Amino acid sequence: EERRHAIKRDIVFVMEVFNAFDHTQRRRQVARKWRFPRLLELDIQCGDLKTTLSWATPRLQMLRTGGLLTPSTMFSSVATLQFEISSLTTCENLLLFAASLLNLSDLHLSFTSGRMGSLEELHLPLSLCSSVTCLRLLLHWDDNFALTEEDNGCIAAFLCALRIPNLVRYCVSMVV
């Protein structure tokens, strides 16, 4: 647990440096903003990292993450989102985030852990994703992850909150 906390702290530091946060003064530098004009794909795998990115990425097409990202103009060009879902909190944040991606056409969701939570705890916002035409669901199954009735209910509630009126392709897979 201590090692995980140290790694998370290091990731936060790196992300803040890229966001022009001055750790010596504990404030954001206004003059420096990172620009990645050719960046097409971004992969941020940092679990429950909560940070706002402020990079200039006008050509970003694919975003892979499992973290909690704040909607931003940085993601306005994203067409493909690959997201790893591990909890109800992740579900709630994903619904809000996906609705902010106006050019999103491919949504790839991976449920990676059991015990999503209790249906009583579930307060999912409706998320209209009218630009999405392809939805892929991937359920990972192993000895540590077996879907219970309650998990099935949480996944079903999530899918009901995710409004995709222009869906053309739908794929569900289970990895054993």
Instruction: Report whether 124 contacts 157 (CB < 8 A).
Output: yes
pLDDT for the residue numbered 31: 42
pLDDT of residue 135: 96
Please give the backbone phi and psi of residue 154, each rounded to the nearest 5 degrees, phi first. -65, -45
pTM score above 0.75: no
**Crossing angle, helix 149-161 and helix 88-99, to 10 degrees?**
10
Contact 43, 64 (CB under 8 A): yes
Tokens of 8: 């998370």
Do 84 and 50 meet the contact criterion of CB atoms below 8 Å apart? Answer: no
Nearest-CA neighbor of 33 among 64, 6, 73, 65? 73
Q: 6: part of which helix (H) or strand (E)? A: helix 2-18
The C-alpha atoms of residue 105 and residue 74 are separated, in whole angstroms, by 17
Residues 51/72, Cβ–Cβ less than 8 Å: no
The per-residue pLDDT string of the chain (176 residues; one tens digit each, 9 = 90 and over) reads 777 677 666 666 666 655 555 445 555 544 456 677 788 888 876 655 555 566 677 888 888 887 667 777 778 899 999 988 877 777 888 898 899 999 999 999 988 765 566 666 677 889 999 999 999 999 877 665 556 666 667 778 888 899 999 999 999 998 77
